[in-house]
Structure 1
């Protein structure tokens, strides 16, 4: 049960004064929490932090107020200038003055009676807002504050600035946050006193009050003590919940998987190449894990094309030698089919059956696969989320391999765990993840890295090109297609957007089709699975030679004779994603190229990003740089279940706190595994505050 002390924070935000359903919906757009179908709560507002401060103490006088500056003016109201009758687009002006000069306070669509009340002629008022000088005349359009001089105390000297969304006013959001702060109960301290003292951290409540009512801009800096305190709390909650999931999954004792090596050797003999050193190391680590009675929880990181599937297959071979079944789960049907194409012939050579299970298999075909899984006839099952469904029963599931881990959350990991008798788990990702991020997203796993490219992989020549040289690029592509080469052309959007001036995949497809005719194909995420598969198959078979697409082609699709990839609006993509996309080429004998097409002028970050990509093909180095350049928010793709989308913590500022939090969480659970002590009970509150209810349920489940 959630402690009743937290009830005020878990009440719906609509219980606050002035917050109806519509306003709550708008506030939900700026709240960093993943609301995933639940209503906005009072506590969510506490984590909407200000990004800057407006200083309203600057009082230079009308004549000395600079253009664009936020100033506060001490004025006497002089005269009104209403718009002419019937001219609604002309503003209402109120002229006011101080000893240095006169200013026009300008209001569009104004209500005269309201203005006469706020600004009575001869009245002495304080007005605060942004200065505008037009043709040498000062004005202020829609001042932020107008208060009578005798109520000067009502004007905030320093005003925090929050992220906003269309239709949500700063005043409404500030008022809602202030009410949420009033409801914050006096919570017990869950931090270790020595850690708190060493890092100089205030209490949780004091930190939030300081962030929302700062006395200076240092107090709202992510590097300030108040922000550090909340970030450390969030890291600790995250590391505790990962450690609890790990403890729970470890508690489900695995079983040692031992084999005589016959199936493994048979598969190795069928491979057309020798494994790289890091593949051999990863295979050895995995075999060692599988032989132990504890469950394996291992993350296999490897750049695009580093040969993760083969490492996974050899682990599955060991499981088969021990008489058990294995599952390989992919995030998309396209990728699942590709994995099956790799695995099925190798399994067959070893006398084993492999089958596919996705949402598309229906009727008799599906039933035959389900029967084969239940009887144990099928040793290797490849599939998508469909593998979680109730109707899937395994005879003896001993190993689960999950591809592109960040697309599956902790809950799904637990769901697949329930399918077998605590199966061993190998998780693979082609997103090169920096060490700090491995800690935060996968703190509950051992890690193997594949660092070399497989033999025969050619380096990819990477060039940057402004959109002005598009004609030149088209001519070069024409030559390449005539020589029998294949080209990917990646766009950031599916269809044209009013808001962003970007070329969409559909527009680019139409433009290329006019030049190259039926040799151009199109693939994007809004197409039905079958259409996507058909488009990919046509490209793989050579029916089409140029494939226009969105980032759908990023994950795992293998076309060895594709030699050129053009990434349009490359400045719009993150480094890790650009690197992943580039890995679609360079898989065959021919030299390959990546063209980063950009629309100038470029900002400093975009310039640096494209330069790093030109200089390096090392995915891990690129990932570290990406983290430095833009923070962790997006590094693992969108903030999906299981990705470390923190509310407050930012790895670019707080990475060193993460290791401390992990050590603290481990020590804590070693001493108090049930979180039953006084500090343990306080920590349960921390888990609830940061949305880690699942971890508390695990505690209850024992």
Structure 2
């Protein structure tokens, strides 16, 4: 019987899997895998081929995995002070090859006797030390002479490590759930006309974990390029589009508050500014102004390059709202950014007689009580903060506009919690801002429920940032030059990709901090990273702003940070590891003042660490400072199938989808979602419940 919903897989704890045990279960929990559905979505990152037997004469010492049927013809025990090694010679009817095992138990060694027939599966390498080609620690199955060997029909999955859980146990657990899919398949929710892959979700999941071997021998299978994987990503994209369309539909069920354009107040404010707004800022503000004057709820995305002046458009919207006797809230993703917005808004709005306040979790006691009272009474017209702005204890008098900065950093449920703060039966106007120029395709994927205003001009007088790319072998030259310019009053950011040293990441912010302190003893150097407490981060950033530090060594946390006009140089170490969008965001930390500004991208010079794509990214950074060009090139470079260590987009709302990798699916997913939401309410609800269970339709 086909179930009506996903409850068995979505609600069943992995602890029910036979033979998993409490130790393994706890390890899966630590990785964020709690339910059977979670386990099904933990896909392999590569596959091994045990679908065919290879003759020894056809083996190549390329590090690839091979599967052979052979006899043991010689066995040798090698004991050294460091390691116990068992060597054996394997032979089939075409030749011989050596196999090497390390630290076997005595009862295991006894099983390996001359004349025994075995199946061996493992990597074959050329040993530089002794010039011998051998199997290294292969998996062995013992056979009787008359046994018929039946290779597997499908590829063998290899999963990302789960602490304390061996690959065999992961495979067994996943395979057990896949077998359940044959008896209790997941309900097929996609209508046939919207399923170009002709695979059910259950079939797609099965093929993602156990694909058939490729038609071309030794061809590598890239999981994300398989039809099964695309089928799953496509369904999640449809579900996400349905959440956006549902939010838009909900918004349109109630009217917003239509407010006067406040032409006199906004014109007076614009004339008082010591600089001229760009044409793009004026055009965008007029679009916002028009939206706010309508009873139809505004849903608008304001995006532009770093430094294109989004804040000023938001300030003008706040003036229009405040002068009508209403309130607006500015939601920021970090406390540092909330502080920056507060300082800017307050400086600009105080002369207009508009009260601006910051609310964060660090404001406590009597001060917090008074602030909450003033917000509830309407004495505060502009409220700025992080998640504090939509907490249950915060009540507004007449909140009609939400300005959400970097919306993709907030979940749908968080945004809905904020929108519930609107007066009864009123839908809030929403202005969403992002400092990432977004190509049209990604606009459709992530902000398809919004109208779009684009800031495609930079303010007059803004000097382009000069960008240099150099290998880490020239780091000493950079440090020497910084010593000179910092003594002349220049401030510098030095960015490293991570906090601690580890196997994969050699640039450590803490190590670099110590290194620079040692090499530049006369300079004051600060340290900023995500492990610091919030008040410590704010303290360090404030000290840098007030010129107490010459150099700030930081992680990419400064990507969204306080503007420091005197900081005119940014050094980004390990730049080959970062995506174009993030590199461009980081570069935007400088060039905020009147000084000539520089960005130095240092890459690791070893060939193993710098691939063609990484060098193309760095070349693009050197060639242009246009964020829209960079966003478009970024999309071209990171087409389907490229496996990245980090999701460069920052959009972490998906379980399977990467919007850059899967961008080719976006248009058809959008069209399918539009049809489903208009014609099939039950399917709409079921798809959203499967992929975004916290979202209430």
Instruction: Tell me the TM-score normalised to structure 2 length.
Output: 0.89
Q: Is the 8 A contact 1:631 1:651 kept in 2?
A: no
Identify if the C-alpha distance between structure 1 residues 343 and 221 changes in structure 2 by more than 3 Å, giving closer, same or farther. Answer: closer
Counterpart residue number, 2:14:
13
Q: Is the 8 A contact 1:324 1:396 kept in 2?
A: yes
Q: How far did residue 314 of structure 1 move? A: 0.8
> Could you report, residue by residue, the CA deviation over 1:479-536 in whole angstroms, capped at 9, with x for unpaired residues?
3223332222222233444653224245335524652535333322223333333322
Q: Is the 8 A contact 2:581 2:649 kept in 1?
A: no
Q: How far did residue 290 of structure 1 move? A: 1.2
Distance 1:182 1:215 in 2: 17
Identify if the C-alpha distance between structure 1 residues 504 and 216 changes in structure 2 by more than 3 Å, giving closer, same or farther. Answer: same
Q: How far did residue 324 of structure 1 move? A: 0.4
Distance 1:309 1:515 in 2: 37
Q: Is the 8 A contact 2:639 2:660 kept in 1?
A: yes
Q: Which of 489, 493, 498 is the aligned partner of 1:488? A: 493
Q: How far did residue 414 of structure 1 move? A: 0.7
Distance 1:5 1:520 in 2: 54
Identify if the C-alpha distance between structure 1 residues 557 and 635 changes in structure 2 by more than 3 Å, giving closer, same or farther. Answer: farther
> Could you report, residue by residue, the CA deviation over 1:224-249 in whole angstroms, capped at 9, with x for unpaired residues?
43333222212111111222222223
Matched, 1:205 2:202: yes
Counterpart residue number, 2:218:
none
Distance 1:162 1:688 in 2: 30
Q: How far did residue 433 of structure 1 move? A: 2.6
SS of residue paired to 1:272: coil
SS of residue paired to 2:662: helix
Q: Is the 8 A contact 1:492 1:505 kept in 2?
A: no
SS of residue paired to 2:694: helix
Aligned length: 675
SS of residue paired to 2:175: helix
User: After the TM superposition, which of the residue ranges 370-379 and 101-110 deviates more from structure 2?
Assistant: 101-110
SS of residue paired to 2:84: coil
Q: Which of 507, 527, 536 is the aligned partner of 2:512? A: 507
> Could you report, residue by residue, the CA deviation over 1:394-422 in whole angstroms, capped at 9, with x for unpaired residues?
11111111112222211111111111223
> Could you report, residue by residue, the CA deviation over 1:605-655 in whole angstroms, capped at 9, with x for unpaired residues?
221111010011111221232234346998996887xx2554334445532
Counterpart residue number, 1:663:
671
Distance 1:318 1:572 in 2: 43
Q: Which of 583, 592, 601 is the aligned partner of 1:587? A: 592
Q: How far did residue 579 of structure 1 move? A: 0.5
Q: Is the 8 A contact 1:495 1:507 kept in 2?
A: no
What do you get for the CA RMSD once the two structures are aligned? 2.9
Distance 1:281 1:424 in 2: 19
Counterpart residue number, 2:571:
566
SS of residue paired to 1:558: coil
Higher helix proportion, which one?
1
Matched, 1:379 2:378: no
> Could you report, residue by residue, the CA deviation over 1:443-494 in whole angstroms, capped at 9, with x for unpaired residues?
3322211111111110111001222222322232233223332222222233
Counterpart residue number, 1:270:
272
Identify if the C-alpha distance between structure 1 residues 272 and 477 changes in structure 2 by more than 3 Å, giving closer, same or farther. Answer: same
Q: How far did residue 542 of structure 1 move? A: 2.4
Q: Which runs of 5+ in 2 are unaligned?
A: 216-220
Counterpart residue number, 1:227:
229
Identify if the C-alpha distance between structure 1 residues 374 and 688 changes in structure 2 by more than 3 Å, giving closer, same or farther. Answer: closer
Matched, 1:148 2:143: yes
> Could you report, residue by residue, the CA deviation over 1:583-609 in whole angstroms, capped at 9, with x for unpaired residues?
111122222111112220322122111
Q: Which of 118, 121, 127 is the aligned partner of 1:128? A: 121
Q: Is the 8 A contact 1:568 1:597 kept in 2?
A: yes
Distance 1:496 1:666 in 2: 48
Counterpart residue number, 1:215:
212
> How do residues 319-330 of structure 1 correspond to structure 2 at under 5 angstroms?
319-330=321-332
Identify if the C-alpha distance between structure 1 residues 313 and 137 changes in structure 2 by more than 3 Å, giving closer, same or farther. Answer: closer
Q: Is the 8 A contact 2:52 2:152 kept in 1?
A: no
> How do residues 342-361 of structure 1 correspond to structure 2 at under 5 angstroms?
342-361=344-363
Q: How far did residue 151 of structure 1 move? A: 4.8
Q: How far did residue 78 of structure 1 move? A: 3.7
Counterpart residue number, 1:244:
246
> Could you report, residue by residue, the CA deviation over 1:541-577 in whole angstroms, capped at 9, with x for unpaired residues?
2232322222222214111222111112212222111
Q: Is the 8 A contact 2:52 2:151 kept in 1?
A: no
Q: How far did residue 289 of structure 1 move? A: 1.5
Distance 1:137 1:345 in 2: 73
Identify if the C-alpha distance between structure 1 residues 646 and 102 changes in structure 2 by more than 3 Å, giving closer, same or farther. Answer: same
Counterpart residue number, 2:342:
340
Q: How far did residue 357 of structure 1 move? A: 1.4
Distance 1:540 1:469 in 2: 29
> How do residues 158-173 of structure 1 correspond to structure 2 at under 5 angstroms?
158-165=154-161, 167-173=164-170
Q: Which of 41, 44, 47 is the aligned partner of 2:41? A: 47
Identify if the C-alpha distance between structure 1 residues 656 and 466 changes in structure 2 by more than 3 Å, giving closer, same or farther. Answer: closer
User: After the TM superposition, which of the residue ranges 21-30 and 62-71 deviates more from structure 2?
Assistant: 21-30
Matched, 1:22 2:13: no
Counterpart residue number, 1:524:
529
Distance 2:253 2:553 in 1: 48
SS of residue paired to 2:404: strand
Instruction: Tell me the TM-score normalised to structure 1 length.
Output: 0.88
Distance 1:14 1:103 in 2: 43
Distance 2:82 2:483 in 1: 57
SS of residue paired to 2:473: helix
Counterpart residue number, 2:458:
453
